[in-house]
Every structure is written in C-alpha cells, then in structure tokens.
A and B are shown apart, each in its own frame.
Chain A
Amino acid sequence: MPLLGRAALILAFGLVVYAAVAGSYGAWRRRRLVVESARNALCGAFGVALVASLVLLAALARHDFRFTYVADHTSRELPLRYTLSAFWGGQEGSLLLWFLVLTGAASGAIALNRRLTTDVLPWTAPILGGLASFFAFLLVAVSSPFATQPAPVDGAGLNPSLQNPYMLAHPPMLYLGYVGLSIPFAFAMAALASSRNDERWLVATRRWTLAAWTFLGVAILLGAKWAYEEVGWGGWYAWDPVENAALMPWLVATAYLHSVMIQEKKNMLRVWNAVLVALAFGLSLFGTFLTRSGVINSIHSFTQSPLGSWFLGFIAVVAAGSTALILVRLPVLRSRTRLESLVSREAAFLYNNLFLVAFALTVLWGVVYPLVSEAVRGVAVTVGAPYYDFFGIAFGLPLVILMGIGPVVAWRRASLRSVGRTLLLPGGVAVVAGAALVLAGAGSSPVGLVGYTFAAFVLAAIVVEFIRGTRARRALGEPSWPRALASLVSRNRRRYGGYIVHAAIVLLLVGAIGIGAFSTTREVRLQRGETVTVDGYTLAYVGSTAERVANAKELRAHLQVTRNGDDLGTIAAGKNRYPAEGESSNEVGIRTDLLRAEDLFVIADRFDRGGSVFIKVIVNPLVNLIWLAGIVFLFGSVVAMWPDAREQARLARRFGEPEALAPA
C-alpha cells in the first residue's frame, strides 16, 4: 500500500506540473482545449490526492507501523480519533493535507466558475497548478508520508498535549483558511496576467475570501482555546510566533475584505487590493513556513531541515512573481478616482486598512526581528509580550472606534455635524457605561477602562444601526418588528452580517480586557482541609486521586468551591502521565460561570509526598466572551456569505451573459 500512496503522489505531481505548464501555454497562446485540459488536470490531481490521503488514513487506522509516519506519530493505545488526526499531526501529513485542500479548493473554484476561468481568466489554472506543484514536489522528493521501515512493535505516540478535541479541529480549519486565500490570490493574479480590468474576479472570489478568512479566524480561536485549557498558564494568547503565524494573514485578509468593498463601490484602491491579496497569501505561506521549519527556535535549527530553505525559496518566487505582475500592470490598474475628503466612508475604510496592515507588519517584525538580529548581528534576542501588547492596544483601540464610526459616515464627503449627531446616542451610552465601570472598580486599569468604554460605544452604535434599519423597514410596510428585522438582514446580508462580525470583535475585546487587565491570581500550598480565597471564591483542598485511563495515568487534586456560602461543586486539577511517550501534561481545572462569563482557573503544580498540593488559582473575568465572540463571528460571516438570489440576478444582468458568474 505505501506503493499506491507513492504512485498517487507521483501522479499528482505530474498532473499539477502539467496544469502549470500546459495551462500557461494554453493561456499564452489562447488555446481553449489546452486550457480545459489543464483545468481537468487540477481536478484529477485532487482525486489522486484523495486516494493518497485515504491510503494514509487507512494505514493510520490499521496501526500499520511499516509506515514510518504512522510509527512516528501514533501508538496502539491512542484513541482512534487522535490516531486519525495524526494525519495532519506531522510534517509529511500536514503537507499532504495542504496539497489536498489546495487541489480541492482549486478544482472547486474553477468548476464553479468554469466559463470565467476558461474564457476570461485562463491563467487561473496554471497559477494554482504552479502553487500545487511546489507542495507535490516536497511530497514526492523531500518529505514523503509514505516512507517505510521495518515495523516496530509500537509507535512513538502523539504528544499528549495535542491529544485534545481542539487539536482535532484546529489544523484542518487553519489549512482551509491558509489555502483558501490562494483562490482570491490566483484569480487576482490571473486577472492581472490577462490584463482584465473588470471586477469579475472580485465578484467570483468574494465568498471564497470570506470563507477562508472565517476559517482562519475560527482556527485562531480554537488554537487559543487549546492553549487556554491545555497549556494552561492562565492566559489565552501568548504572542508566540506559531500563534502570530496565523494572525498575520488574518489581519491582512480583514483589511482586504474591507478595501475590496471600496473597489467595488468606488473603483478605487485597485493597486492596493492587488498588493493586499498577494500579501495575505504570502503571509499564509510564511506562516506555514514558520511553524514547519523550526526556524523560530533558532536560525541555526532552520538549516537542519531542508524544508525551510525550500519554503523560503518558494515564498520568494511567489512574492517576486506577484510584485512583477503588479508593476507591469500598474498603468492598467491605476484608478482615476481620488479620495475626496478625509472625513468620508472611503477614508474610514482607508484608516481601517492602514491600522490593520500596520499591526500585521508590527507582528511580522516582532516575529522576524530575532532571526534577523541573530543572522546579522550574531546576537539573539527574544521579543516579548510587552511589545505586542503595546502595539495591539495602539492599533486595536483606533480600529475599534472606526468600527463604530465607519458605518455612520457618508460616502465621498461627510459633514462632521451629521456624524456627530448620529453618534450622540452611542457616545452617551459609552460615557454612562464608563462612569458605571469606574464605580464598579474598573478604574484599576485605565487602559482596560478605555477599552471598555470604546466597546460600549461600538456596541451601542451597532444596536442603533439595527434599530434604525428595522424601523425603516417597518415604515416601508413590514407588519411586525421580527419580520422587519428578518427582511432587513435578508436584503442587506453583507452589511448586517458585517455588523454582527463587528459585534463579535467587540465581544472579543471585552473578554480579552477582562482576562488581561482584571484577573486575580494567588499561589498557595494547601494541606488537606485547608482553604484559600480568591476574588470571592473559596477553595478547600479535599484530597487527591490517581487514576489509570486509556493511555495515561491521571493525577488530580480535588477542591471544593464555594462562593458567599453557596456550594459550587468541586474542581479538579493536576497532571497526566503518559507512559508510552514518556511525557507528562498539565491538566488544569476550569470552572466556568456562564452568567458572569468568568472562569475559576486552577493549576495544580506540585503534589508533595506529605499530602499537600501547591496550587495556583486564577479568576479570569469575562474570558468566556472570547469564545462566545467566536460563535458570533461565525454566525455573522455565514449571514454575510449567504447566497442571495437577487444579487445573482443583478450580476447576471450586468454581464449580460446567459450564465451568472457564481457564486458571487
């Protein structure tokens, strides 16, 4: 069976190279049949990649340790779901997943836009084929999942901290996001290559971009939840380079989603958008490279794995290629429309873009600086959280304010007076909220207080938007408030879906401030029967247990929790020992208070022979708003993405063609 896998990969490599080369020829010489053939090759590559993936999955399920990959990443005791998820748990498998998703997305995007990608944008298939060729090359020549060895008795097992439900979902979501960004990138570059000036590619890829961006965002939050529960230091985001690797493309994609609206409505920012989409995709490649090559540990470990240099070379080629294409087409791209006023919705979107991109570049600098410093000066440095926190606040707060102001400012030129008038109510709410918060004690963190006030402002502004819109629809004759709201959102999916997403970001901000600025920590050693009080919670150490489960030994300290005399149950925290891997993992105890959205977070650090336990107790206020924000974010995105028959019809009319370019 490894033979089938290897053969499938070689076939896949051949197919995508054909798609790249023949597709280029077909696009260049305008040979329709060749272009169609290249298109088919991409679909074929997906099918073959599927076969290879199935071979690997079957090997994993069977515990076939002849496959080096299976032996390295699973063990007999590992529960099935983690065994299967080891598909993407190691280098080779994750490359295969990248390739699978890339060919899948490419086939899908091209199939759904058959006419567009053949007649108008024939370069789409060769560009996607070229991207896929790189991964296929790695899979065939550098890092194959189908290497074999004499089968050991048992495998090495999966790192225990990765044996967690969030780690089942996080990598596939992440890849859907990373790879998804290749679709707008390919279409944009194909449009430049064909020197097409119209917006067709924009319309065709809008939902793909939105979907990729959503997956990326959800993946980041899944990763954060994993870190919160599994790594368990009490925080949710550590500005680790691995985390930043996903954040950077997400920030740029957010900027792109906004500026693309300007291009659609005002035909401005065309060059900027081409740069943004290339930057977003480039950063997702860079993110993949970061987490794969080990370069973040030290620039020296980078040279140990050949994969790193290949990736870097590939990123350089993609960057150079897109830059060249943009420069060559600059005269065609440049728009004649100018920004009329610094106080207008166009300007607000522009500021939004500047802050988002600046923040993304700041994060990039923080990630890259240690490597640059070591390579150039020979002095290694570490860039810590204070750097990121500072810029996160410096750029984040203005962005939050813009979320409140942007929707209210008129196009082209707005009068400050009418903006002020519309924002009077939300502004008032913010002031009242701020005062209330100060009374509640939020003054302990001035930054936190400011953040909360801004959040109140934006939330109020969003609510007002919904109320205003619903009222307007009622005036137009809708019989009831719920019906009016439903028809309002249904007729303006992008706008109101967007508002919901904004609300999600605000929720995220509130949660992040809660845990970041207002959490309380206490460390104490407790003997059996002793208690500790933290922020209203009283914990009494009851005792400890040691229990053997599937592939681990679970050591837990049990504590009784009360608050104001009310019994809140028990909480258990401790460690797991994994004999197969020879590792131990930190298992924190979390008690979530849904009403207050806060968490009681207990880390059991040490179990002493004397029977006492050393624990760290943290109370994280409002942290669960972060996870709620993820759900609201997903909901808002889905609303914005939902296909709209009216819009389809309009686009069909615009291009005066028998078939609309779908899905828009």
Chain B
Amino acid sequence: MRLVVALSVAAALAVFLLYTSLAGGSTPSVQPSQLAGQSGVVSLGGRVVGSSTGDARAAGGMRFTVRDPKGTATVPVVYRGTVPDQFKTGREVYVTGTLRDGVFVAEKDSMVTRCPSKYSAKS
C-alpha cells in the first residue's frame, strides 16, 4: 500500500515537472547567431565586444555589442537597469529581452554574468 502511495505521488510529480519545465519557467537561451528565427522573449548570451556607450540608468540606456562566444555573429543590445560588476569588454553576459528591428532590447535589470569561477585562474 505504501509503495502504491509513493509511486503515484512520484508519477504525479513527474508529470508536473515535465509539464512545467517544457511549458513554462524556462526561457530559451540563444546566441546572437541564433536570434534570427526567434520571436518573443529569449535569454541572449554572448561576449561583449567593442566599447559600450550610454548610461544604463539614463533614458537612452546603455548600448553595447554582443558576439557569439565562438563565432562572429554580433547583435547590438540596448539595456537599462543594474549593471553587474563583472561587466566589461571581453566578458560573457546574459540579458533577457526581445529582438526588435535588428536591435536586441533587453528587459530592465535582466543582465547577469556568471558567478566568478573560483576554479580557473582568471575567467
């Protein structure tokens, strides 16, 4: 009897988990080269190249360019909100937002950089 209870709970859980992970709660994470087909909100990840202009706290936002970590495709990004300390040219960043007219418009405060890797000398 106990086994039946446990199994049915586990089964219900499994179904739930599959549903939520596939349907909601996860956003596709893409690189600049993969942006083309995407409509809707995605998490864009890539390396910051060139210099950044503007002020993330001002109305115009901060503008910078993001490139594929291992490729050449780039996309300009406009971002408003908090900029993590780790942000600088050459670093990998992730912003959530949508592509509009060739420019990736990021959601406010959505920029993250990965936790500093303790285990490599300089990441």
Contacts and interface: CB of A to CB of B under 8 A. Distances in A.
A525 B119 contact: no
Nearest to A69: B121
Interface in A300-359: 338-339, 342, 350, 354, 358
Interface in A105-164: 156, 159, 161-162
B59 to A, nearest CB: 12
Given A369-B21, A584-B85, A382 B29 contact: yes
Contacts, number: 101
Interface string A355-371: 00010011001100110
Given A90-B121, A381-B28, A606 B57 contact: yes
A339 B29 CA distance: 47
Contact of A586 (B13, B21, B85): B85
Nearest to A374: B29
A161 B85 contact: yes
B30 A380 contact: yes
Interface stretch (B71-79, B99-107, B109-117): B109-117
A384 B26 contact: yes
Given A159-B118, A339-B2, A358-B9, A383 B26 contact: yes
A526 to B, nearest CB: 12
A90 B26 contact: no
A342 B1 CA distance: 10
Contacts of A386: 24-25
Nearest to B12: A358
A487 interface: no
B116 A161 contact: yes
A72 interface: yes
A606 B55 contact: yes
Nearest to A605: B82
Nearest to B10: A358
Interface in A601-630: 603, 605-606, 614, 616
Contacts of B13: 358, 361-362
Interface string A542-555: 00000000000000
26 contacts: A90-B120, A91-B119, A156-B122, A162-B118, A233-B82, A294-B117, A338-B2, A342-B5, A350-B2, A350-B6, A358-B9, A361-B13, A366-B21, A370-B29, A373-B26, A380-B28, A381-B26, A381-B29, A382-B26, A383-B25, A386-B25, A387-B21, A583-B85, A586-B85, A605-B82, A616-B82
In the A-B complex, the 6 residue pairs with the smallest Cβ-Cβ separation, listed nearest first, are A387-B25, A72-B121, A91-B119, A381-B26, A380-B29, A159-B116
Interface of A: 72-73, 89-91, 94, 156, 159, 161-162, 233, 240, 242, 291-292, 294, 296-297, 338-339, 342, 350, 354, 358, 361-362, 365-366, 369-370, 373, 379-384, 386-387, 390, 525, 575, 581, 583-586, 603, 605-606, 614, 616
Given A72-B121, A354-B6, A358-B13, 9 more contacts: A156-B122, A338-B1, A338-B2, A358-B10, A365-B21, A370-B29, A382-B26, A384-B27, A525-B57
